[in-house]
Amino acid sequence: MHDPHSERMSGSETRAAGGLALVFAFRMLGMFMVLPVLATYGMDLAGATPALIGLAIGAYGLTQAFLQIPFGVISDRIGRRPVIYLGLVIFALGSVLAAQADSIWGVIAGRILQGAGAISAAVMALLSDLTREQHRTKAMAMIGMSIGLSFAVAMVVGPLVTRAFGLSGLFLATAAMAVVGIAIIAFVVPPSHGALQHRESGVAKQALMPTLRHPDLLRLDVGIFVLHAILMASFIALPLAFVERGGLPKEEHWWVYLIALLISFFAMIPFIIYGEKKRKMKRVLLGAVSVLMLTELFFWLSADNLHELVIGTVIFFTAFNLLEASLPSLVSKVSPAGGKGTAMGVYSTSQFLGAALGGILGGWLFQHGGLSTVFLGCAALCALWWGVALSMREPPYVTSLRMPLSAEAVREAGLTERLMAVPGVTDAVVVADEAAIYIKLDTQILDRTTLERLVNPASSACEA
């Protein structure tokens, strides 16, 4: 038995977090590996047009968006593992279908089926079941890092695998990754002892309408929608620009993405540190959106040789990675107490819808106006996002805590009002069903230990 209050993750928690992070990474790798190659290699497929290539790039987002929250709800009823196994099998079948296809419509059908394996919510819920409260933030950060890393690896590995084995080989590789994911769930991730109801990692029906009516959360949902729309649309145009404007054969694109992602990863870190330390995340967000817009205008107006295209790609990925890393943190800060899981569910749905629209819109713009029209359309989306984000309030710099309550504390009248009067506490809600209280607090004003004594001296506070 491990100490329930230990500040170190236990062996089973480490295996759970590491194993689930790998499952996420393999699945996202399979999703993203086609991104840098479909626009160039996909035109060899029967019936391929730029508009249909765009649909194939974004198609997974449609089914992913609509099935993600329902799969999470089903996992509450029948268990996490059956849903995750089912999702990975569906993803593998979609990959095999795309691998066997000799027409663009077969690839589109495969991508739609890939997206139907929407396991994100179920994986996050299983992570909550298998980790203690005080380690959940670390475990979720591991998954976040695995997603970011898988995107970077996919940008480099996708072109290399496709060069060696063709598009069908690429899709078969993604099917193999899904099988590896099933093995990890079966043999690495430890068994859970029942589903945990936890509002910070799953969608709560009671929190859905307040989330959909929250102005700043909606601004962030618009942000991730636009960001992934721009990503998908840009990857219809950028690979073709490397070939047509830069004279770079499609087999050589991997080194551009490798350079761009390595530089951009280190370039974005000072801006995140500045935004968090100086509490200026709104300024950082608006600045990054502006840079993204200027980069798209640069691609539109003047990037007509390989040197300029590479520089533009480095700047694009710096702004993109900065926004991709910042937006989930802002959702966590802005969401009301006990509403983070629901807010993240809506946010993820917006992300996948953006990916779908971006692929479809990018392909349509390219077919009707060429490369320049795609870049100009992306710049217009950035301008729209900048206008929406401008009226956002500076986010509260708060931490989310979930504290278990004794039976007496749950019944205590006025507990939330008493806590809201404490300097540093910005929001609090008691959830009697969970015998817990969710609190948002500014740790520069109030520390957890003091808060713990105020709420429930016998219990230990735990970070959500």
Domains 12-189 and 399-463 share a fold: no
One-letter identity of residue 319 = A
User: Residues in the chain, how many?
Assistant: 464
What confidence tier does 352 reach under pLDDT thresholds 50, 70, 90? very high
- pLDDT of res. 200: 67
pLDDT band at 146 (very low <50, low <70, confident <90, very high): confident
Q: How confident is the model at residue 456 (pLDDT cuts 50, 70, 90)?
A: low
For the chain, the structural domain boundaries read 12-189, 207-397, 399-463
Buried b vs exposed e over 106-145: b needs ≥16 C-beta within 10 Å? bbbbbbbbbbbbbbbbbbbbbbbbbbbbbbbbebbebbbe
Say whether pLDDT at 408 is over 80. no
| 99 Cα distance to chain centroid | 26
- Distance, CA of 446 to CA of 456 (rounded, Å): 16
pLDDT, residue 195, reads 64
Contact 159, 254 (CB under 8 A): yes
Q: Which residue has the higher pLDDT, 463 or 342?
A: 342
- Taking the CB of residue 215, how many other CB atoms lie within 10 A of it? 10
The CATH number of 12-189 is which of 1.10.10.10, 2.40.160.40, 3.30.465.10, 1.20.1250.20? 1.20.1250.20
Each residue of 279-320: pLDDT tens digit? Answer: 899 999 999 999 999 999 999 998 789 999 999 999 999 999
What is residue 263's predicted lDDT score, i.e. its pLDDT?
95
> Across all residues in the chain, what is the average pLDDT?
88
pLDDT value at residue 340: 84
Q: If DSSP codes are grouped into helix, strand and coil, which group holds residue 213?
A: coil
pLDDT score of 422 more than 90: no
For 207-397, CATH gives 1.20.1250.20
Rg of the chain over Cα atoms, rounded to whole angstroms, equals 23
- Burial of residue 417 (number of CB atoms within 10 Å: 0-12, 13-18, 19+): exposed
Range with the largest mean pLDDT of 35-39, 124-128, 191-195, 378-382? 378-382
* Model pLDDT, residue 316: 96
Q: Decide if pLDDT at 181 tops 70.
A: yes
Q: Fold for domain 399-463?
A: Alpha-Beta Plaits (3.30.70)
% residues pLDDT > 90 (the chain): 58
**pLDDT-derived band at 462, boundaries 50, 70, 90:** very low
- Is the distance from CB of 359 to CB of 231 less than 8 angstroms? no
Cα separation of 272 and 228, whole Å?
20
Q: Is the model's pLDDT at 220 over the cut of 90?
A: yes
CB 97 within 8 A of CB 106: yes
Model confidence pLDDT, tens digit, residues 373-382: 999 999 999 9
Q: Is 194 left (phi over 0), alpha (psi -120 to 50) or beta?
A: left
pLDDT at 411: 77
